[in-house]
Chain A
Amino acid sequence: MAATASSPRASRWTRLPVIAQLRQSVGLQRGMLVTGLVLTAIFVLTAILAPVLAPYGFSQLRGPDGAFGAQQPPSAEHWLGTTQGGYDVLSRLIWGSRTALLVIIVAVVASILVGVTLGLISGYFGGWLDRTLVVIADAIYAFPSLLLAIVLAIVISGGQSSMWGGILAAALSITVIFIPQYLRVTRAEVIRIKSEAFVESARVIGAGHARIMTRHVLRNSTRTLPLILTLNASEAILTLAGLGFLGFGIEPTAAAEWGYDLNKAVSDVTSGIWWTSVFPGTAIVLVVLGLTLVGESLNDLADPRLRKRAAGAEPVEDLGVDPAVPGAAATPETTKEAAR
């Protein structure tokens, strides 16, 4: 218990979300977390450096020596071969990470903004508004997310679209699926926190609703967010790929998208052409794996029943909440909600 406080190096930066957990983890859990972080880092770097890394453009059909040709097996010019449409597989793989990252960012930012705001209002004020929001959120939550995403993709882009149109369509349809989760988690935390003494005292001093909500309640109810965030990021990629696979992806000339490439690879598989499907598919698996490993590890570390103790290092995550309520007490329940 005392270890964190007494260690001189345990300064501000070790309290950052992921780093704190990294220090806290041991053995297998640390291995999983580190693997996840490495995979995620590779993904993000590939996305950022796509123009430098990719040998060709994502919609490039011909090089200096003429057309690439369709369904060429891996060779020196095309390390991972070419697709049915005559694109370079490796280049589309690398550019695809950029599309995926953009979708994740837009989806997660939008759903956090809306979901947390609604959760805050819903939990803080309660009453009929709260009940209505919860019923709607539950209804949407119970629904197969891909089907909802399909409907939304039709609405937003009419099915076919440019790069930003496609990214927004995918991201916003994912957003609608995520909002209920953020709403529920935030609401649960807000309800717990608003009965704390420090909220009461703020009210006694005369602070208004807006101030209490933002300064006192919101700041203390975001601790489970990093966890849901990683899990949702991986779900976002899967939904994007699912949409792409059903033909609701982004046009190949507008941006590279792994799900679309897999859709075009279905017929290749039957004739034994493996490189068009195996590589984009593996890319999806690795990225989702990385994000999920990070999310899972954070989840386990937040749940004392699943956490393996390091020698003596019990973190005291003091966020200004009444110490009588151990931080973990709220998390198993809320994370279970999130992981459902």
Chain B
Amino acid sequence: MTTTSEAPTTRAGAPRAWAKKPGGSLGRYIAVRALLIIPTVFILVTTVFVLMRATGDPITAAQGGRLPADQLAERIHEAGYDRPILVQYLDYLGGILTGDFGTTLSDRRPVTEVIVTFGAATLELAFYALIVAFLVGIPLGRLAAFHRDRWPDAVFRVGAILAYATPVFFAGLLLKLVFSVWLDVLPVAGRASTRTELTLSRQDGATGIYLIDALKTGDPAIIGDVLAHAVLPALALGMLTAGVFLRVVRTNVISTFGAGYVDAARSRGVPERRLLRKHAYRPALIPIVTVVGLQIALLLAGAVLTESTFEWKGLGFQLAQYLQARDFVAVQGIVAVLAVIVALTNFIVDIIAALIDPRVRY
């Protein structure tokens, strides 16, 4: 949001009047960065296409061995997979340009529809996970930096490495085992209990994001049910990112702590705690913005695994289903859409980073 509100002012000043400032102008940076999305998306989409077609057509992959050869050939012909590969490729690219990512083989739904239906759940999960990551990672990273090389630092750092070393699905299974099976305080799987799901789906103008829908009903039982289901998946996925945040904050606070202006403040007699809070901490948060952007890719991959662990019916869960069904058209489509999403988020993050920190613009 900051992008739209601040960009015009800077961009207006950019063109000629004082564009000679060292470091380049923001407007130009945004333009160059926006243009870079095109080759990125193009390369990814092409890579996915080439790889998926390298082995043959998706219909043989899905039905091979189960259908007689003549029926198989007929199906392939119907879907147009017997045309020259280049024609298919151009067709595919043209489809993507118009927002058509293909139709799934197993349930004959447009990929875009699948994305819209299940994307909300994944978005919700990623959002929860990011909240967990922020709440856990940033304060602990700061604390670790402050107690550098003493025992709290050691504990937090090992904790962060453990968070990285634990596959999200194993973390999920452990959480399930402890909280759902042994202690029996939280639900085992799913996004909500069946009754809540029914209520929410019957609601007018349902967004698919359960928390918003539940808040709209205003029923505390429903809100509680939705939140209780979200706790374990959010923790499993969030801890991974929390560990990354912790490490980044720690490293950056340590390095800003050694910066000249902090030394200057220290020589003026500013107490250590205040140095940390006011001087070293704020600038150390800037790289977090970039890290969040890079985490989006990680979160998406993590979401596939987390959703499969908790039967959280989002895009990742659906992707796993299509993989099981060997529906490679669906897989190709979903992966291509995700590629576009990742490229766009990275773009937005880069712009925000450039707005916050002028040194980024080159």
Q: Which residues of A contact B (CB under 8 A)?
A: 27-28, 31-32, 135-136, 138-140, 142-147, 150-152, 154-155, 158-159, 234, 238, 241-242, 245-248, 259, 262, 265-266, 269-272, 274, 277-278, 281, 284-286, 288-289, 292-293, 296, 305-306, 308, 340
A-B contact list, 28 entries, CB within 8 Å: A28-B149, A28-B154, A135-B40, A139-B39, A139-B44, A140-B43, A144-B298, A145-B301, A146-B301, A146-B305, A147-B300, A152-B51, A158-B61, A245-B308, A246-B308, A247-B324, A262-B167, A262-B170, A266-B308, A266-B309, A269-B176, A270-B176, A270-B180, A277-B170, A278-B177, A288-B165, A292-B161, A292-B165
- Chain A nearest CB, measured from B291 CB (Å): 8
Task: Please pick, from A144, A159, A285, the residue contacting B301 in the complex, using a CB distance under 8 A.
Answer: A144
Q: Does B7 contact A (CB under 8 A)?
A: no
Q: Is the CB of A155 within 8 A of B323?
A: no
Q: Does B270 contact A (CB under 8 A)?
A: no
Query: How far is B48's CA from A144's CA once the two chains are assembled, in angstroms?
Result: 13
Contact with A along B277-313 (1 / 0, CB 8 A): 0000000000000000010011011001100110000
Q: Is the CB of B162 within 8 A of A278?
A: no
- Chain A nearest CB, measured from B314 CB (Å): 14
For residue B153, which residue of chain A has the nearest CB?
A28
Chain A residues contacting B167 (CB-CB under 8 Å) are 238, 241-242, 245, 259, 262, 281, 284-285
Query: How far is B332's CA from A152's CA once the two chains are assembled, in angstroms?
Result: 11
Using A138-B40, A151-B51, A246-B308 as known contacts, say yes or no to A289 and B149 having CB atoms under 8 A apart: no
- Chain B nearest CB, measured from A302 CB (Å): 13
Q: Is the CB of B174 within 8 A of A278?
A: yes
Q: Is the CB of A143 within 8 A of B323?
A: no
For residue A340, which residue of chain B has the nearest CB?
B294
Chain B residues contacting A142 (CB-CB under 8 Å) are 40, 297, 342-343, 346
Query: How far is B151's CA from A28's CA once the two chains are assembled, in angstroms?
Result: 9
Task: Please pick, from A143, A234, A238, A277, the residue contacting B173 in the complex, using a CB distance under 8 A.
Answer: A277
Chain B residues contacting A270 (CB-CB under 8 Å) are 176, 180-181, 188-189
The total of chain B residues at the interface (CB under 8 A) is 60
Chain A residues contacting B76 (CB-CB under 8 Å) are none
Q: Is the CB of A158 within 8 A of B181?
A: no
Stretch from B20-28, B219-227, B251-259 that touches the partner = B251-259
For residue B42, which residue of chain A has the nearest CB?
A139
- Chain A nearest CB, measured from B93 CB (Å): 16
For residue B64, which residue of chain A has the nearest CB?
A158
Q: Is the CB of A135 within 8 A of B43?
A: yes
Main SS at interface, chain A: helix
Main SS at interface, chain B: helix
- Chain B nearest CB, measured from A59 CB (Å): 22
Q: Is the CB of A305 within 8 A of B255?
A: yes
Chain A residues contacting B177 (CB-CB under 8 Å) are 269, 272, 274, 277-278
Q: Is the CB of B304 within 8 A of A154?
A: no
- Chain B nearest CB, measured from A122 CB (Å): 16
Task: Please pick, from B55, B258, B305, B339, the residue contacting A305 in the complex, using a CB distance under 8 A.
Answer: B258
Task: Please pick, from B164, B169, B335, the residue contacting A245 in the complex, using a CB distance under 8 A.
Answer: B169
For residue B53, which residue of chain A has the nearest CB?
A155
Q: Is the CB of B149 within 8 A of A306?
A: no
For residue B299, which residue of chain A has the nearest CB?
A144
Using A138-B40, A155-B51 as known contacts, say yes or no to A143 and B342 having CB atoms under 8 A apart: yes
Using A142-B297, A246-B305 as known contacts, say yes or no to A284 and B54 having CB atoms under 8 A apart: no
Task: Please pick, from B55, B149, B170, B305, the residue contacting A158 in the complex, using a CB distance under 8 A.
Answer: B55
Using A245-B169, A247-B323 as known contacts, say yes or no to A139 and B162 having CB atoms under 8 A apart: no
Q: Does B96 contact A (CB under 8 A)?
A: no
Q: Is the CB of B335 within 8 A of A151?
A: yes
Query: How far is B323's CA from A135's CA once the two chains are assembled, in angstroms?
Result: 29
Chain B residues contacting A159 (CB-CB under 8 Å) are 323, 326
Q: Is the CB of A289 within 8 A of B165?
A: yes
- Chain B nearest CB, measured from A207 CB (Å): 35
Q: Is the CB of A139 within 8 A of B43?
A: yes
Closest 10 CB pairs of A and B: A281-B170, A146-B301, A288-B165, A144-B301, A139-B43, A289-B165, A139-B40, A144-B297, A144-B300, A277-B173
Q: Is the CB of A154 within 8 A of B40?
A: no
Chain A residues contacting B332 (CB-CB under 8 Å) are 151
